[in-house]
Amino acid sequence: MTHALIVIDVQNDFCPGGALAVPEGDIIVPGINALMDQADAVVLTQDWHPAGHSSFASSHEGAVPYEVIDMPYGPQVLWPDHCIQGSTGAAFHTDLNVTRADMIVRKGYRSAIDSYSAFFENDQTTPTGLEGYLRTRGITQLTLVGLATDFCVNFSAVDAAKLGFDVTVRSDLCGAIDLNGSLGAAQEGMKAAGVKLD
């Protein structure tokens, strides 16, 4: 058992009709469910913000969504309020096979720091615990799918590669926001880190 499928943030707020919707973000769900049967382990990540999170534009007077500000840990895109703990928007997409998950990693729950990666918060030092879980299960190969390619999938894939995992991103089972060329930059960054893009 050496292969895990990491399903990134397939939540209502990132799907059509959600607060931070990825265009056609829901069309990847059947393919992700099918891929679960080929994995030794399945991990789901879930954006899980408290109300008033510091990454929300509404938490900064005069700020607008998609503006970038400097936070103590570096540049931070300010987002529309999304994936608030316990909300319908934070719930997994109804069609996602959540019963197949061995583990659910919730991220972004500390109010003062965002967390794109499944492995580290945006300070790049505070771990989520996912690495330890995978290591103790002897998992070395990871396939990443989900939302959004250019943010949470990208950061997760690059961190996983830096940690020494064999990482593949299934581009056909991801969806991107593509904010000012962020998709192209993410793809180049993932390749440079040794991530395979399928």
Question: Catalytic residue numbers?
Answer: 9, 107, 152
Residue 90 structure tokens:
């934070």
- DSSP assignment of 96-138 equals S-GGG-SEEEEE--STT----SSSB-TTS-SB-SHHHHHHHTT
DSSP 8-state class, residue 145: E
95, 35 contact by CB (below 8 A): no
Q: How many residues does the chain have?
A: 198
